[in-house]
Amino acid sequence: MTFKQLLAATCVAALGAGAQADGVKVGMITTLSGGGAGLGIDVRDGFMLAVKGNDDIELVIEDDQRKPDIAVQLADKMIQSEKVDVMTGIIWSNLAMAVVPAATAQGKFYLSPNAGPSALAGKGCHQNYFNVSWQNDAFSEAAGTALSGEAGKVFLMAPNYPAGQDIMAGFKRTFQGEIAAEVYTKLGQTDYAAEIAQMRASDADQIYFFLPGGMGISFMKQYAGSGVDKPVSGPAFSFDQGILGAIGDAAVGAKNTAHWSKDLDVPGNAEFVAAFEAEYGRLPSIYAAQGFDTGLLLASAAAKADVADADAFRAALKAADFQSVRGKFSFGSNNHPVQDIYMREVIKEGDLVTNRIVGTAATDHSDPYAADCNL
Amino acid sequence: MTTLLLIEQVLNGLQSGIMLFLMAAGLTLIFGVMGLINLAHGSLYMIGAFAAAAVAGATGSFVLALCASLITAAAAGAIIEVGVIRRLYDRDHLDQVLATFALILILSEGTRWAFGSFPLYLDVPAALAGPVTLPGGIRYPAYRLLIIGVGLIIAAGLFLLIARTRIGIQIRAGESDREMIAALGVDISKLYTLIFALGAALAGLAGALVGAIQSVQVGMGEPVLILAFVVIVIGGIGSIKGALVGALLVGLTDTLGGVLLPLALSGVMDASAATSVGSALASMSIYILMAVVLIFRPTGLYGTA
């Protein structure tokens, strides 16, 4: 399958080069191997679905293996020898910090389909950097607001690294209520028995946690087996389609916040879900939706302006003139999204474990760092 | 902190130690008898977990899944020994590290090619899904008790195998003088394949047992591999007894350190600083333990120079 997609990418690339000399050349650096490859593959597939058959866009795809040094090398190669106009694809905040400032400083456009480190939203913002996903704190700020209404103490848990601390800081920024305990675990930890025992012993009424990827799978399975029955919630990264299948029934009932869900009733979303499933034989995740929106945004700008005219192309990007599968989507003053964030619940549809929307957690949410950005 | 919580945490430490023992036992045997540094041991752990997830998905039987993990990992171990490792015994450790590191990459990408990039589903059997109430009112997951039980049975079995059987005698002899036992007419290459397959089977079983409560994904073996190396260094290379004691020490230090250090520090600093300093110190605790052991016993607790 991967080979076929590569072939398709090459064909798209070849077509682009042949048909139209003044198309947009896009360099995608994303994680396609090693741990966390599922996220990069979803972003890539979503993006390719959005630009399928579009002759204006020529795509070069490279695998960063989730390593900052490799991402930097690939970025240099794309800028200097491939001479791309636009870059995109990076999943992880630490890789984005290594690549994005250098790329934008060399006059390239960067569209972030996933990472949203606070440094690039505040003082480090750039006119050529557009975040199409979220600022890192967004989902947990919305969750903090949504959970404030419910009485009770909250037990917080996240891995001890910058994104974990950012996300907990986002939660504490908006949460009105008492924090029973705050626990930071090792990054990559796989056994949560000790933390679960602390949860059982604490007087918390519910658990709010951020554990992306395999860490979240381990925690949810162990939590379900422990007999602790406090409700759990977290940002969507711990409950996304790519990992729900591995958690199984243990996740059912968990609440999570996200800007998108496959049952979101906005124009184009049902078509996107159906097209993605038909093309790749699996359900899209939030990462696939972000990749798809990034592709749509790029196509909308490429249709309006020539990338050689940077000011016009920038204005076309900023206008965000496309129908996002999230519904409302616009850019704030720091080129980060202003969007609604929903509360989702994990449910079982037949044999399939998936999410459905149960309410809106935040309307027109924007990030708190925009004030520090002087664009 | 209540006594009940402390007992529960000690059980957690025991359980993680027992799982580490299954990994470390194979690693220490292979290193002790063959003098081989096998970085690919973590990949055998992953192969066991994937085999179990695939068989559990197809048949729904957890017992069959465990059998599949043992057989698949042992077979993979035997094939790897005959195909690759056998050529490395006479080389120095750097060549072994390079070759077995290459095996990690090949096995990881091969697994991804066969099973895809997304984590697989493997759950504990329904009969063991919930918690049980232990004397004293501790509620503890039944499945973790099973892991402790299985681990102890295997530890006992390994001791019997090494101390009481003919193969055990050959293994011990191979550890102390491999030229001599070859000269005595023992088929050393068959013995090596057998030991490698045994170590692989134990790693595969650990992967399957742990995979049911953790995430079955490509690359799951590497973090455990690092801990297993710490265990065999602490316990003394080549010693099964050392692997058991080292694994329990590492498991207990890791678990209790993460719980007790932030608590102890909260007496001398404010809560959020205690949490972050405590969790940082807890991640270092097993390496500090290893350093302290090496200062006083440079060959490890049960190692011979």
What is the C-alpha separation between B198 and B223, in angstroms, rounded?
A: 21
Q: CB of A75 within 8 A of CB of A86?
A: no
Q: CB of A198 within 8 A of CB of B256?
A: no
Confidence of residue A148 (pLDDT cuts 50, 70, 90): confident
Structure tokens at A42: 């979803």
Q: Is the Cβ pair B215, A245 closer than 8 Å?
A: no
The answer on pLDDT for A89 being more than 90 is yes
Torsion of CA A233, A237, A241, A242, to 10 degrees: -130
B120 touches chain A (CB under 8 A): yes
pLDDT of residue A16: 43
What is the C-alpha separation between A279 and A284, in angstroms, rounded?
A: 11
Find the CB nearest A194 among B9, B130, B218.
B9
Q: Is the Cβ pair B214, A191 closer than 8 Å?
A: yes
Same domain, A56 and A183: no
Q: Which residue of A has its CA nearest to B211?
A: A218
| Closest C-alpha to A291, from A52, A20, A69 | A52
Q: Which residue of B has its CA nearest to A191?
A: B214
Residue B302 lies in a domain: no
More confident residue, A201 or A6: A201
- Cβ contacts of B185 within 8 Å, gap of 6 or more: none
Same domain, A177 and A321: no
The CATH number linked to B156 is 1.10.3470
Question: In chain A, which residues touch B (CB < 8 A)?
Answer: 33-35, 37-38, 41, 160, 182-186, 188, 190-191, 193-195, 197-198, 200-201, 213-215, 217-218, 221-222, 224-227, 242-243, 245-250
Structure tokens at A155: 């037990």
What's the burial of B163, exposed, middle or buried (CB within 10 Å: 0-12/13-18/19+)?
exposed
Confirm whether pTM is higher than 0.90: no
Average pLDDT per consecutive 10 residues, chain B (305 residues; last block may be shorter): 82 92 91 87 95 93 95 96 90 92 93 85 85 84 92 92 90 82 87 93 95 88 91 90 94 89 82 78 90 93 80
Residue B304 lies in a domain: no
Same domain, A165 and A232: yes
Q: How many domains does chain B have?
A: 1
Phi, psi of A206 (to 5 degrees): -150, 165
What is the C-alpha separation between A328 and A333, in angstroms, rounded?
A: 16
What is the C-alpha separation between A234 and A349, in angstroms, rounded?
A: 21
Reduce the DSSP state of residue A21 to 3 states and report it: coil
Mean pLDDT of A271-280: 95
pLDDT of residue B112: 87
Confidence of residue A10 (pLDDT cuts 50, 70, 90): low
Q: Would you say how long chain A is, in residues?
A: 375
Q: Could you report the per-residue pLDDT of B63-78, keeping only the tens digit for each?
A: 999 999 999 999 999 9
Residue with tokens 């600083």: B273
Which amino acid type is present at position A369? Y
The CATH number linked to A189 is 3.40.50.2300
Same domain, A130 and A150: no
Residue B301 lies in a domain: no
Confidence of residue A6 (pLDDT cuts 50, 70, 90): low
Lowest mean pLDDT among A32-36, A204-208, A301-305, B28-32: A32-36
pLDDT of residue A184: 86
pLDDT of residue A14: 46
* ipTM over the 0.95 cut-off: no
Find the CB nearest A197 among B12, B262, B283.
B12
**Owning domain of residue A18:** 2-134+264-331
Q: How many domains does chain A have?
A: 2
Angle formed at CA A364 by CA A360 and CA A367, multiple of 5 degrees? 110
Q: Count other C-beta atoms under 10 Å from residue A23's C-beta.
A: 21
Same domain, A175 and A41: no
**Owning domain of residue B215:** 3-296
Same domain, A195 and A129: no
| Closest C-alpha to B36, from B105, B98, B85, B101 | B85
What is the C-alpha separation between B118 and A38, in angstroms, rounded?
A: 6
Q: CB of B45 within 8 A of CB of B288?
A: no
Residue B189 lies in a domain: yes
B12 touches chain A (CB under 8 A): yes
Same domain, A142 and A79: no
pLDDT of residue A17: 43
Q: CB of A29 within 8 A of CB of A90?
A: yes
Same domain, A96 and A145: no
What is the C-alpha separation between A24 and B48, in angstroms, rounded?
A: 46
pLDDT of residue B232: 93
Residue B303 lies in a domain: no
Q: Could you report the per-residue pLDDT of A349-365, keeping only the tens digit for each?
A: 888 899 999 999 999 99
Phi, psi of B167 (to 5 degrees): -65, -40
C-alpha A372, offset from chain centre: 23
Phi, psi of A340 (to 5 degrees): -85, 145
Helix ranges restricted to H, chain B? 3-34, 41-59, 62-83, 93-115, 142-164, 166-176, 178-183, 188-211, 221-235, 240-265, 271-296
Residue B305 lies in a domain: no
pLDDT of residue B4: 81
With contacts defined as CB-CB under 8 Å, which chain B residues touch A226? 131, 139, 141
Mark which residues 252-281 of B lie under 8 Å from A by CB.
255-256, 258-259, 262, 271-272, 275-276, 279-280
Find the CB nearest B143 among A190, A201, A225.
A225
What's the burial of A288, exposed, middle or buried (CB within 10 Å: 0-12/13-18/19+)?
buried
Residue B110 lies in a domain: yes
